[in-house]
């Protein structure tokens, strides 16, 4: 059968909602947004001047891509439980953490930047996997 037709698009929708909600919270000034912006060289003025609509739409698109790809991974591994979804979400986040570590070495940014950026994936992907694995 075709993998794409077997995916649960309602589960993908809810995984996108979780990913977007966590992203908005994670990178807000109330949580890690201030430190993240400081580490990439944006002051309060730089953050305020950024196009929020573009950022939100880009984040939404990337959350859709992440949920879709994670759903394919869970399907390919025959994940049939929330626990398996969480484990596969952690696996996906581990790949991101390693890839970002390579970039981090060459960017010479503060370790806090790496921890904030990768920390989002280490929290979001397992939560998204939980939803996707539960509804598989």
Give pLDDT, residue 26: 94
pLDDT at res. 51 = 65
Query: What CA–CA distance (Å, rounded) separates 127 from 89?
Result: 7
As a three-state string, the secondary structure of 25-81 is HHCCCCCCHHHHHHHCCCCHHHHHHCCHHHHHHHHHHHHHHHHHHHHHHHHHCCCCC
Per-residue pLDDT reduced to its tens digit, 41-85: 876 555 555 667 887 899 899 999 999 999 999 999 988 899 999
pTM across the whole model: 0.89
Look at residue 21 and tell me whether its pLDDT is greater than 70: yes
Three-state SS at 103: helix
Cα separation, 12 vs 18, whole angstroms: 10
Locus of tokens 């790496």? 114
Average pLDDT of the residues in 8-36: 92
Per the structure, the complete domain to which residue 109 belongs is given by 3-134
pLDDT of residue 22: 95
90-125 pLDDT tens trace: 999 999 999 999 988 888 888 999 999 999 999 999
Question: Is the model's pLDDT at 15 over the cut of 60?
Answer: yes
pLDDT at 55: 79
Total domain count, the chain: 1
């Amino acid at each position: 059968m075709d993998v794409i037709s077997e995916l649960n698009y309602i589960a993908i929708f809810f995984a996108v909602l979780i990913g977007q909600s966590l992203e908005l919270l994670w990178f807000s000034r109330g949580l890690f947004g201030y430190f993240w912006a400081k580490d990439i060289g944006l002051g309060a003025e730089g953050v305020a001047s950024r196009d929020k609509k573009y950022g939100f739409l880009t984040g939404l698109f990337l959350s859709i891509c992440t949920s879709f790809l994670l759903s394919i991974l869970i399907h390919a591994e025959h994940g049939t439980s929330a626990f398996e979804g969480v484990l596969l979400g952690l696996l996906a986040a581990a790949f991101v953490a390693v890839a970002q570590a390579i970039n981090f070495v060459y960017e010479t940014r503060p370790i806090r930047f790496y921890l904030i950026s990768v920390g989002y994936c280490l929290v979001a992907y397992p939560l998204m996997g939980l939803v996707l694995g539960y509804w598989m």
